[in-house]
Amino acid sequence: MTVTALAWTITLAQVLLGIAMCCAAWRVAVGPRAQDRILGLDTLYVNAMLLLITFGIQTGRTLYFESALIVSLLGFVGTVACAKFLMRGEVIE
């Protein structure tokens, strides 16, 4: 009984995070300008990281935690590089 209720709660949380990722992807697709797309991409990767942690709770493995850490790390670097590109026109000066 408890396991079933928790399983449905985890699935509901995953569906909500999936809807959140769809909203962020819509902002990436629609724009209207480059900074809006980068903002949507940032939200997209944060939501994907949360979804990975949720998968980790669901399966009881720590493998998902490590991939979530890597996603947050690379997402930060990517967003900073894009913002720097918008500011200067080049990433490495």
Partner 1 sequence: MIQAPDLPQWAALVTGILLLGGAIAALIGSIGLVRMRSFYDRVHPPTIGSSMGVVLIAAASIVCFSVLRARPSVHEVLIVVFVTLTTPVTFMLLGRAALYRDSAESDDRMPPSR
* Phi, psi at 48, each rounded to 5°: -65, -40
49, 72 contact by CB (below 8 A): yes
Largest CA distance in the chain: 59
At residue 92, φ and ψ (nearest 5 deg) are -110, 120
Q: CB nearer to partner 1: give 36 or 93.
A: 36
Of the residues 29, 60, 92, 93, which one makes contact with partner 1 according to CB under 8 A: 60
> Can residue 72 be called a binding residue for partner 1 (CB under 8 A)?
yes
* Least distance (Å) between residue 92 CB and partner 1: 15
Residue 63 touching partner 1 (CB under 8 A): no
Among 26, 63, 74, 91, the residue binding partner 1 under the rule CB under 8 A is 26
Backbone angles phi, psi at 77, to 5 degrees: -60, -40
Point out which residues bind partner 1 (CB under 8 A).
2-14, 16-17, 19-21, 23-24, 26-27, 33-36, 38-40, 42-43, 46-47, 49-50, 53-54, 56-60, 62, 65, 68-69, 72-73, 76, 79-80, 83-84, 86-87
